Amino acid sequence: MKLLLAKAKLDQMRRHNVGVLTSRDLSFLFEEKGIKLQKTISALQAQGWLTRATRGVYVHTDGPLIDHVREHIALSLRGAKAFIYVSLECALYRHQLITQIPTALTLMTTGRSGRFNTPFGLIELTHTDRPGGELYRQTQTLDGPLPWANETLALRDANRTGRAKNLILDYQAQYA
């Protein structure tokens, strides 16, 4: 595909607030597969119009980034196969239960766990066995594409995973 046509298609997606695309999305958008698609993606990356976030996920980086880029990347990683919500250190900090600012986007998922170091920051997915419906009722939509755990769920997740316990105890000792 000609680069300017590919760029125009990316820009059109961006106008619809789509800035994170999977290889599958790009294949559909450019109507290409295999080596031809890989060459188009490589050329777009060389021009600085597309950045590889992680395997199979790309971000349109020509111009300002879309809001909540890491959350969109996480959604692209798991798609509709799993329920994903912001929890652990991120939710605990937002609910003012810890004072340390999280460096990673910490998420819980009904899908596989994973740790993804992207050019846009670290994304950590932690698996939970609880049913999505139960989790959905304990989350709230605040801003961005992902729901956030309420205080109770964030504390429960931290206790179940063994993460952030020392941060919670430090906070309670300091402010209780």
Nearest to 7 by CA among 36, 40, 39: 40
**Which residue positions in the chain have pLDDT lower than 70?**
165, 168-176
How far apart CA 98 and CA 95 sit, in angstroms, is 8
The secondary structure of 32-75 as a DSSP string is --HHHHHHHHHHHHHTTSEEEEETTEEEE-SSSPPTTHHHHHHH
Please, which residues have CB within 8 angstroms of residue 73's CB and are 6 or more apart in sequence? 20, 53, 54, 57, 59, 116, 118, 120, 123
Sign of CA dihedral 161, 166, 170, 172: positive
pLDDT for position 80: 78
* Helix axes of 165-175 and 151-161: crossing angle, nearest 10 degrees: 130
The overall pTM is greater than 0.85: yes
How far apart CA 175 and CA 57 sit, in angstroms, is 42
Q: Are the CB atoms for 10 and 62 separated by under 8 Å? A: yes
Q: Are the CB atoms for 107 and 146 separated by under 8 Å? A: yes
What is the greatest pairwise CA distance in the chain? 62
- The CA-based angle 99-112-24, given to 5 degrees, is 110
pLDDT for position 142: 85
pLDDT for position 28: 97
pLDDT for position 170: 63
In this structure, what are the phi and psi dihedrals at residue 85, rounded to the nearest 5 degrees? Answer: -145, 155
Give the model confidence (pLDDT) of 126-174 as tens digits.
999 999 889 999 999 988 999 999 999 999 999 899 887 677 656 566 6
